[in-house]
Structure 1
Amino acid sequence: MNIKISEKAGFCFGVKRAMGLAWRELCEEHDKQIYALGPLIHNKQAVEKYEERGLVTADDIEEIPSDVKMIIRSHGVSKSIYDRADEKELEVVDTTCPFVKKIHDIVKENYDKGKKIILIGDKNHPEVIGINGWCNNSAIIIKTIDEAKELELDPEVDYCSVAQTTMNLEVYGNMVDILKQKSDKIDFNNTICSSTKARQEAARELASEMDCMVVIGGKHSSNTQKLVGICKEVCPTFAIETRDDLDVEEIKKYENVGITAGASTPDWIIDDIIEYLKSL
């Protein structure tokens, strides 16, 4: 079996930064309990390591007691969360990805100018929920080309468009073309992060050279699922979280196996799967 790993696989800059900041907090000596508002990243195995170190994960800020430390994860949160944290006298450790923070700034600035926000992304994803919170939860949120086609825009209204950082680049481009036909008063901001673009392009290129692809990452990770979709367009693809998810008998049928991984996938999981594949 010939195994080749994508040049762009594993932790992106934002996730690596967030995980490093969180781990540093857990390793420091202090008398405050540390909570994370939502899972630090969409990788169960990595989150479990942090919880073993003492991190407590809460799904809602109201579950977090006053006067403790609260980590805001890399996905970012709405303005109302910061306001509530102040009210509860929480010490905030903000690990929001700088690329996401930039979108917050764009949205708030344009919303304050009176523009209507169009947000291209998954309305149920924490990053999108957080972004929407910087325009008083008033954004028009669309995820698919069909939704873009069905969208009706007011010709008298000024719009500002932003995108979830992990959007599929090709889908985003098609949606922008559709929106341009509906209004000439849209200020488009391509906020898909450079890491996502490079990761998707590298995955597509590798998939074209391989007999099959293995995509490693959390089942709830948006950027991982985008990679799965891209690779499936090119060749047979296995989507796994750990080596236990591998269909061994099926993957043995392939000689050239490509590997890529989502932005929330730690190196130790990737290395473990590579070593396992080599042992086959």
Structure 2
Amino acid sequence: MTPDLEKELDDFKLSHYENADFDSLTKKTIQLYNKFERLKDKKKQNRVVLDLYTLYLQATEILFINSHALSVTVDRFPSALFIDSFNLRNFISENFAKTTELSSWFFKLIFSVLKDNSGTNEKYNLYTNLIKEVAKDYLGDYDLLNAYKHGYRVKANHSQTTLSISVGNGQHFKLNDSDSTITYFSKETRDGVPIVLQHTLNFKIGRIFGKCLFVCSLLNNMRAIILLHYKKPVSSKDISSFYINDKDEWNSMFGGSHFKQPVFSLKGLNKKNAIPK
């Protein structure tokens, strides 16, 4: 690689992060949750639940795309930003959901810009556990983003749901509670046959809010790291610190569930009525 090309690539990378407005995601997250808490109208509340969850998935996708781009050399950086959906999911699965090798490297970068070094081990454990949870959320729910673009294929409901299991003697055991549900449809191919699936996603909206703020803080700090690397000025407001104030309350929001079931097969449709793959 020639010096001129290397400079051009460095300029492209720097420009990408100078112009990245990750803080707008943070502001939008807070605005949505504040709006949710103020609303009394059930229908409007349901809409905000959907908007917040899809914003969480979108921010997560941006985080992992940029994590992938940072993990490669500068000559591969431009193409890494345009990783396709299939390879992105493989990257997330191999590097964040299954192992902590890349996330360990990633968090060392993140912590390098945080001025408060107190409780570093505890913070590292929190971040490591959360990034795994976020990765699994994205891998399980990424189809929701596509359904969201076609609003008739998705709906949300803010209401209490209890997941329980029953045994033969009539006893019931509660597994977890949730306060929000999103139902959406997707299509996948099984044994060469297109199948329409209905997904039911249960969760607690407060935890989604917290995880979205966590993702946004990582994005903001990632941007700060790159700017500092290129010796650009970074102010304290450009650096985000994520922590849990009430651990008991946070832990009480853990859980949720995701079920999917086939609705029908598209195998019997004729060519005129067939749904394209």
TM-score range, shorter chain: under 0.3
The alignment's TM-score, normalised by the length of structure 1, stands at 0.26
Decide which structure has greater helix share: 2
The alignment's TM-score, normalised by the length of structure 2, stands at 0.26
